[in-house]
Chains A and B, each alone.
Chain A
């Protein structure tokens, strides 16, 4: 790394974890600003959270992404390296986060948060994008982060990574960067981005692949079991997570959403939960 001329050297903070991102490729700077500018920070990062994008040279004919001097990605395209950087930042931020976080998108309506827990690849980000384009506020397409002190939801407004198919479905034409699999969209290009902590009011379990959109209530036990199952980090404090989610599940309203069209689903949620 000593031979790296850093023309880009930026600091970000995601979910309390400081990161440093450096590059010898001038073109990376504006992309990072657009995608991660709202995470800018002055805090110094540990070497384990220092990421470097290096442009091709005589020794390495491809774009490379390193974290803590280990290769994370190699490929022909600069944009692929930036998408890999976004994925790595997200992975590290979630891994380092100490309080309860579950795999869920979070949107806002009327100053209250709606969490939508789902595994990757089940249309969560597409539904979130449609909801934000329909007027909901954006908190996250990835993580439901609950402050154990006040049980409010922390925003984690990372860029949305959408496949070509999803972008076609949503009518989104431009992306900041794209890899072979997906393109990164800045949340504020879709609609409102929420920056305040909010009370959690609803937990909606989305199921894609149905005809008409329907919304049916589910019990608090289901909410509790599913939130714990979808947790990234309840292993760090299992008893604390159990107590926190028991309290949350007893207070929020749980729903099962079936849908085929994410915009129709968003309209139904706005009508029923707004």
Chain B
């Protein structure tokens, strides 16, 4: 299955209060991720498939994978739309 990520190399990433903030120098945009999106982002390293990311997030948040799947899928789609992921 297709792996999620890795993240785009041109992004500048910083952690603020435990959450991830991203700066895209090409568009000069800043995106501040909430706690869940930050955890999803950390798993977008090109090593996990979408199902693996969903399983890991489900375990971390003590949820069933089918409950959390729509949220994780939408978040990863948004990362891709923003050009934050290589694949």
Chain A residues within 8 Å of B, Cβ to Cβ: 219-225, 228, 235, 238-239, 242-243, 246, 249-250
Contacts and interface: CB of A to CB of B under 8 A. Distances in A.
B16 A224 contact: yes
Given A224-B30, A250-B16, 11 more contacts: A219-B17, A220-B16, A220-B19, A221-B19, A223-B16, A223-B17, A238-B23, A238-B28, A239-B12, A242-B12, A249-B16
A249 B23 CA distance: 15
22 contacts: A220-B16, A221-B16, A221-B21, A221-B33, A222-B32, A223-B16, A224-B16, A224-B30, A224-B32, A225-B32, A228-B30, A238-B23, A238-B28, A239-B12, A239-B25, A242-B12, A242-B21, A242-B23, A243-B12, A246-B16, A246-B21, A250-B17
The secondary-structure label for the interface of chain B is strand
Interface residues of B, number: 15
A220 to B, nearest CB: 3
Contacts of A223: 16-17
A127 B9 CA distance: 44
Contacts of A228: 30
Contact of B14 (A219, A222, A238, A242): A242
Nearest to A219: B17
Contacts of A249: 16-17
Interface string B6-50: 000000101111110101010010101110000000000000000
Nearest to A218: B17
A243 B14 CA distance: 8
B7 to A, nearest CB: 16
B21 A224 contact: yes
Nearest to B28: A238
Contacts of B12: 239, 242-243
